[in-house]
Structure 1
Amino acid sequence: MTTRQQKLFGSLSADIPSSIVVFLVALPLCLGIALGSGAPLFSGLIAGIAGGIVVGLLSGSQLSVAGPAAGLTAIVATAIGNLPTFEAFLLSVVIAGIFQVILGILKAGILGDYVPGNVIKGMLAAIGLILILKQLPHLVGFDADFEGDESFRQTDGGNTFTGIASALNYFVPLAAVIGLLSLGVQIFWEKTVAKKGGIFRLIPAPLVVVLLAVGINQWAIAQFPGWALPAHAMVSIPVATSVEGFVSFFTFPDFTQLANPIVWKVAATLAIVASLETLLNIEAADELDPYQRVTPTNRELRAQGIGNLVSGLLGGLPVTSVIVRTSANVNAGAKSKMSTVFHGMLLLLCVAFIPKLLNMIPLPALAAVLIYTGFKLAKPAIFKQFYQKGFDQFVPFVVTIVAILFTDLLVGIMIGCLVGLFFVMRSNFRTSVFVVNDENRYLFRLRKDVSYLNKPIIKRKLEHVPDNAYVLIDATRADFIDRDVVEVIEDFLKHAPLKNITVELKKSINKEQGFTKPEILNFTA
């Protein structure tokens, strides 16, 4: 066995249980996102299978999980409505995959490296809060909003908070019992039972939760049919009665629509948005990775492109890296990409051979799994940690969370990046100019990059130097000085004698800005 094979298969004791957890999380999300997109339910499952197996094998990420993404539901729903057939939309997915491969070849993956760390952490915390808020209605049996929706405004006309309020009017007692019991079992299993080691460590808590929930609902069906869960509170996978029926679930692109400009427009939109979401989620996945491994982003774009190509060819929705499934994968203890691949295989085998058994799973139990995952992403300790880091780290972190909660993932990230950029500029602005005053002796030290944004503060502080003062302007530590700043200093040198101010200048070696190598002056700030 090669070293690479040892790495892939040497952690199966952790990856197999993790794959079961991701499978249980992905199952309702694949169905829900297809439902929210106005696409056939099976198209969501195809995307989950392609994301798990194809992207999982080709990706350089060890923990990221790809599948149909909630962030694309509005785009997909609009595209399906604007195109003549669903098969025409599948052609757009195929072309979008080709575009992503080209983006990877052109090394566009570097864009993800420019997102600040506090914004990425804010995105993770926001996803955690969204999981909790969005799954609370499902926990008590209210399913007006589709599984996996992350947007503030919901397809049913409400929003995240009105959905919770509405759930109280559609309260299903057994759903609440199963949901709350599932939460309790997860906490108890992970905090107590799993720590005993042995076989208990290999059994994932979500699997225990699902088996318990199925048992409770089946008992209710047998003993108290009136208390059993309604159909909308259960997993609902299309069931084929024959091999031909199962094959009929797969749809193929309509290549006769290649001349349709709308097909290409949709493809370009999908490629750009899916690539941005993937790059953001890959950054987040690397942050979550306990081993802090770095994913090659250009390879990831190529892997996602091939994943979309395969998904579109088989009748599936577009795929991206998805942080909900990724965080569930990390929290379940996965160590390598084999967890992602196995989850895709489980999806394929289970929907092909045991769909009726899967349809016995209550959604409140899966909602409890997602809520517990959300808590791990947004636990109070994370907020405390960023508060202690300082104002410039805490504000972009919180703004990103609020923006994502009240808009959607991409808009929220853009707002967070703008706020983060403001604090970066503010920090550079402050540290570029250092002024010390000691008994009418002034030190002006220019450091790093001194841009035109520093001009007002330098000009103001120089003009406030009193008569008969001594000023040392040290420009030797600056990597760059904007020409406007140079002119301010030169103007000060000209009129300083009028106020009897003595000026010494340690000059930069940047001759293009009019400065030459400095003399060494004896001055202690």
Structure 2
Amino acid sequence: MSKFKYYQSSLLSTDWKSGISVFLVALPLCLGIALASGAPLFSGLLSGIVAGIVVSVLSGSEISVSGPAAGLTVIVATAIKDLGSYQGFLVAVILAGIIQIGLGYLKAGKFSAYFPESVIKGMLVAIGIVIILKQIPHALGDDQDYEGEFEFEQVADHQNTITELIRSFIDFNDGAVIISFACLALLILWDYASKKNITFFKVFPSALAAVALGVTINEMYAVFKPEYFLGNSPAHMVSMPVFKNFQDFTNVLLLPDFSFLKNPHIYTVALTLAIVASLESLLSLEAGDSIDPQKRISSSDKELIAQGVGNTIAGFLGGLPVTSVVVRTSANVYAGAKTRMSSIVHGILLLASVVLIPALMNRIPLSALAAILLMVGYKLANPLVFKRVYKEGYDQYIPFAITIIVIIFKDLLFGIFIGTFVGLLFVVFTNFQSVISVIRDGNNVLIKFNKDVSFLNKHRMKQILMGLKEGDEVLVDGSRANFIDHDIFTLLYTFKNSSKNKGIEMVFKKVNRKIQGDINQYHAEVESH
């Protein structure tokens, strides 16, 4: 089958549905992240469109979905404030894109392979938990915080995730609660019916059905229960800019001000954006591969180039920087996406909604979209994942758990780095334990070097030698070690010379160094001449 037919078949069978689902998730996130960044609302939508159409075509992954990222909001907001110009900031976005393209051609994407699987699993679960914690307030009608906020400490209102939850339960909105509960119940029943292979529920997108239900209930409020109606408060609704004519559209387009190339600070901002955006994209790529039902391996270098091209174009058009995003990618996978056509559909729908039906989009309650995101969050943080990782052993579960905790109570990148550091500690510890093995059978003792022995294993070697007893016959086998550190060699040589006085017989097999030679022929006095 040709590529064209493959993508056509995938589009017609499943990807059009998953594209709609991702579009409904991405729409409020694009607007919310732009709002949090101190940028024009339209800039978030522009980035979503560029990421959906351009980045998806060039991406190294079939299921990754890109767009403006919550992880960049603080960097973007600070940069706009420090530069004093959004149009100046756009120059930094363009430069960041060029840097990413260079990183892709330099094969820097290989660094994504150095994040442990336990940490990637922890990241996915943590993001699922954060989605649930952050969407509960929206489901309850507390829409004071922007969609797409993921930090524990909320800078805007000096709250945090926990205090925000408490506030939401105390001061909830009855109309929003009914909508979110109805939509959530529909999604659960829809998922159940789809698994039972009932054709209609498999074919029609559940997210679209939930949004239609949410809009219908809210419109019924306007007629039968006006005090519950959410449409008279833009805070509770999707809030897209509405353009009456082409002139209105062109008026909101902001072009980069290249005079800022003379400002040295622009290059610091560009480098920061490039590094952080690249890291987030690579992490999202790894996360996407881990939940891809087809278990495909994505090209990280190709992804960096795609992100770079996307950021360069977004900067020229007036959009926010983009990255591959775990939330949208997860929503894409769980909606049944098979290929990149799903992400392209989501980009086209974003464009169509801006140009053709912005007023209709503004009739969608955020509580209905919160129900969709709550389902995505649950699928990411499914309790079965905890059980599976726990069975893999403490060396997997501890980095997994620490990654979750740090991401929830701090942020994504910090959690990844801490989790990876803890994972590396387990690697080092395990390596220490496995380098030297000891087998005792009565007075017969085998000390075996299973791999190269470094000075880091000196303490372990000392413990083994201290544990030998009078009358022991010891064979030290170094045949598997291509390298034996000088400190280990000297320690064994010293113990060898004193072993007979302790009543211990020592035999050495292929314990040697290039300079000193075989330990059986080595004499320290010769080395000193």
Which TM bucket (shorter chain)?
Answer: over 0.9
| Secondary structure at 1:333 match in 2 | coil
1:37 aligns with 2:37: yes
Provide Cα deviations, 1:179-228, integer angstroms capped at 9, x if missing partner: 11111110100111563343431211111000000000011112222210
Distance 2:249 2:410 in 1: 38
Gaps of 5+ in 1: 519-525
Tell me the percent identity: 49
Identify if the C-alpha distance between structure 1 residues 256 and 403 changes in structure 2 by more than 3 Å, giving closer, same or farther.
Answer: same
Counterpart residue type for residue 161 of structure 1: I
Q: Aligned ranges for residues 147-296 of structure 1 at < 5 Å?
A: 147-155=147-155, 156-193=157-194, 195-229=196-230, 230-296=233-299
Distance 1:411 1:282 in 2: 18
Structure 1 window deviating more from structure 2 (228-237 vs 132-141): it is 228-237
| Secondary structure at 1:10 match in 2 | helix
Q: CA offset at residue 515 of structure 1?
A: 4.1
Q: CA offset at residue 274 of structure 1?
A: 0.4
Distance 1:56 1:187 in 2: 30
Counterpart residue type for residue 116 of structure 2: P
Distance 1:226 1:14 in 2: 40
Distance 2:373 2:217 in 1: 20
Q: CA offset at residue 7 of structure 1?
A: 2.6
Distance 1:498 1:362 in 2: 85
Q: CA offset at residue 478 of structure 1?
A: 2.6
Contact 1:481 1:513 in 2 (8 A): no
Counterpart residue type for residue 490 of structure 2: E
Distance 2:520 2:281 in 1: 48
Q: CA offset at residue 508 of structure 1?
A: 5.1
Q: Aligned ranges for residues 107-506 of structure 1 at < 5 Å?
A: 107-155=107-155, 156-193=157-194, 195-229=196-230, 230-506=233-509
**Counterpart position of 2:6:** 7
Distance 1:517 1:335 in 2: 63
Counterpart residue type for residue 287 of structure 1: S
CA RMSD for the aligned pairs? 1.6
Gaps of 5+ in 2: 522-529
Provide Cα deviations, 1:440-470, integer angstroms capped at 9, x if missing partner: 2111111123222211011121122112210
Contact 1:214 1:362 in 2 (8 A): yes
Counterpart residue type for residue 286 of structure 2: E
Distance 1:456 1:51 in 2: 53
Q: CA offset at residue 488 of structure 1?
A: 1.5
Provide Cα deviations, 1:92-136, integer angstroms capped at 9, x if missing partner: 101100010011111111111000000000000000000000000
Structure 1 window deviating more from structure 2 (449-458 vs 476-485): it is 476-485
Counterpart residue type for residue 254 of structure 2: T
Structure 1 window deviating more from structure 2 (423-432 vs 223-232): it is 223-232
Identify if the C-alpha distance between structure 1 residues 513 and 399 changes in structure 2 by more than 3 Å, giving closer, same or farther.
Answer: farther
Contact 1:175 1:364 in 2 (8 A): yes
Identify if the C-alpha distance between structure 1 residues 501 and 332 changes in structure 2 by more than 3 Å, giving closer, same or farther.
Answer: same
Identify if the C-alpha distance between structure 1 residues 55 and 515 changes in structure 2 by more than 3 Å, giving closer, same or farther.
Answer: farther
Identify if the C-alpha distance between structure 1 residues 32 and 465 changes in structure 2 by more than 3 Å, giving closer, same or farther.
Answer: same
Distance 1:497 1:292 in 2: 59
Identify if the C-alpha distance between structure 1 residues 279 and 35 changes in structure 2 by more than 3 Å, giving closer, same or farther.
Answer: same
Distance 1:315 1:469 in 2: 77
| Secondary structure at 1:503 match in 2 | strand
Q: CA offset at residue 231 of structure 1?
A: 2.2
Provide Cα deviations, 1:383-407, integer angstroms capped at 9, x if missing partner: 0111111111110000000010111
Distance 2:520 2:288 in 1: 48
Contact 1:31 1:42 in 2 (8 A): yes
Distance 2:311 2:363 in 1: 30
Structure 1 window deviating more from structure 2 (286-295 vs 3-12): it is 3-12
Identify if the C-alpha distance between structure 1 residues 42 and 457 changes in structure 2 by more than 3 Å, giving closer, same or farther.
Answer: same
Distance 1:48 1:513 in 2: 64
Counterpart residue type for residue 382 of structure 2: K
Distance 1:516 1:349 in 2: 77
Distance 1:479 1:331 in 2: 48
Distance 1:115 1:512 in 2: 38
Counterpart residue type for residue 131 of structure 1: I
| Secondary structure at 2:481 match in 1 | strand
Contact 1:447 1:479 in 2 (8 A): no
Distance 1:297 1:86 in 2: 30
Identify if the C-alpha distance between structure 1 residues 513 and 343 changes in structure 2 by more than 3 Å, giving closer, same or farther.
Answer: farther
TM-score (normalised: structure 2)? 0.95
Q: CA offset at residue 169 of structure 1?
A: 3.4
Identify if the C-alpha distance between structure 1 residues 517 and 318 changes in structure 2 by more than 3 Å, giving closer, same or farther.
Answer: farther
**Counterpart position of 1:18:** 18
Contact 1:476 1:509 in 2 (8 A): no
| Secondary structure at 1:196 match in 2 | coil
Give the number of equivalent residue pairs. Answer: 517
Counterpart residue type for residue 318 of structure 1: P
**Counterpart position of 2:526:** none
Q: CA offset at residue 168 of structure 1?
A: 2.2
Provide Cα deviations, 1:352-380, integer angstroms capped at 9, x if missing partner: 11000000001011111111101001111
Distance 1:470 1:335 in 2: 63
| Secondary structure at 2:145 match in 1 | coil
Counterpart residue type for residue 271 of structure 1: A
Distance 1:165 1:275 in 2: 35
Distance 1:513 1:48 in 2: 64
